[in-house]
Structure 1
């Protein structure tokens, strides 16, 4: 792993305590399932998310706390409506716990400038272009670790469990 940031897959393979993922964008590029959903066609969830399940389930089976939180604008974008629709099949079925925080309720939360994955004590910031295309990853330092734990836990505490969140 020296010389390049660790990949998420590498970090998940060794996770022992926690995996937190904070998403704060209203659109992400590159999901074939999104195009299928937009076309009104049925999504083949096994094909679309089977590799994610294969990656996440062993982590959860080891007792790792695997949580995802999404800060979303309301009314929600079409993409967030899609995310909400697939979450039971893509994330919850893999063993993730998911909460949603309407952006209007997040005003007093210190948030980093980018989405992130926190795996045990390693922070990976995800960098995106303005139209939602992923453009890179940056590894956070000790200060970033403190901020990401604080911000994730604050969003989680204010968030609404997936089963209870119903976007308008």
Structure 2
């Protein structure tokens, strides 16, 4: 990635050459109980795995494009157990991420206690650029923060790999 920092997530993914890893550590993100995908899921909607066109969103297109260039895209989720309703929602829809080419693993929070973790969720691109994801107490985005600081990059890379090594692949994880 060039040293001029991309401003959009699409630019970050487009400029990524080798790896893009994402660590999620919250049990919910901007839950809207009245409308949107989470509300629809709560009312019984489920994506039909055989109807790819109905769930192929811009995010999944971007992942597929990134993976097709040879970039490995991995996502690890640290979750409390028993899992939150929102985590169940994420779990039910993760097959779409897998179909796009993401690798996804789940780590029960109890198994993460001895891992030094950064204070915020993040994306790490090519082991050299971090995009922190800041959230409000209610889970709404509070805006990203970018850094190429070597200490931050090392912390994120080390934390992600430790989580990944302990985590269970999506197809083997069972919701508790």
Is 1:112 paired with 2:118? yes
Is 1:23 paired with 2:30? no
For residues 39-78 of structure 1, the aligned pairs below 5 Å read: 39-43=43-47, 46-78=53-85
Task: Find the residue that maps to 1:111 and give its secondary structure.
Answer: coil
Match of 1:150 in 2: 158
Is 1:11 paired with 2:18? no
Among residues 104, 108, 120, which one is paired with 1:98 in the alignment? 104
Does structure 2 retain, via aligned residues, the 8 Å contact 1:57–1:94? yes
Task: Find the residue that maps to 1:22 and give its secondary structure.
Answer: strand
Instruction: Give the Cα–Cα distance (whole angstroms) in 2 for the partners of residues 21 and 119 of structure 1.
Output: 9
Instruction: Give the Cα–Cα distance (whole angstroms) in 2 for the partners of residues 146 and 41 of structure 1.
Output: 41
Match of 1:38 in 2: 42
Among residues 87, 93, 102, which one is paired with 1:86 in the alignment? 93
Task: Find the residue that maps to 1:98 and give its secondary structure.
Answer: strand
Instruction: Give the Cα–Cα distance (whole angstroms) in 1 for the partners of residues 31 and 8 of structure 2.
Output: 18
Is 1:167 paired with 2:175? yes
User: What's the TM-score once normalised by structure 1's chain length?
Assistant: 0.92
User: How many residues were matched structurally?
Assistant: 167
Instruction: Give the Cα–Cα distance (whole angstroms) in 1 for the partners of residues 46 and 103 of structure 2.
Output: 24
Q: In 2 relative to 1, CA 123–11 (structure 1 residues): closer, same or farther, beyond 3 Å?
A: same
Task: Find the residue that maps to 2:57 and give its secondary structure.
Answer: helix
The gaps in structure 2 that reach 5 residues or longer are: none
Deviates more, 1:31-40 or 1:10-19: 31-40
Instruction: Give the Cα–Cα distance (whole angstroms) in 1 for the partners of residues 163 and 173 of structure 2.
Output: 14
User: What's the TM-score once normalised by structure 2's chain length?
Assistant: 0.88
The gaps in structure 1 that reach 5 residues or longer are: none
Does structure 2 retain, via aligned residues, the 8 Å contact 1:5–1:138? no
Residues 35-85 of structure 1: CA deviation (Å, up to 9, x unaligned): 110111244764554211211111101111110000000000000011010
Instruction: Give the Cα–Cα distance (whole angstroms) in 2 for the partners of residues 62 and 5 of structure 1.
Output: 19
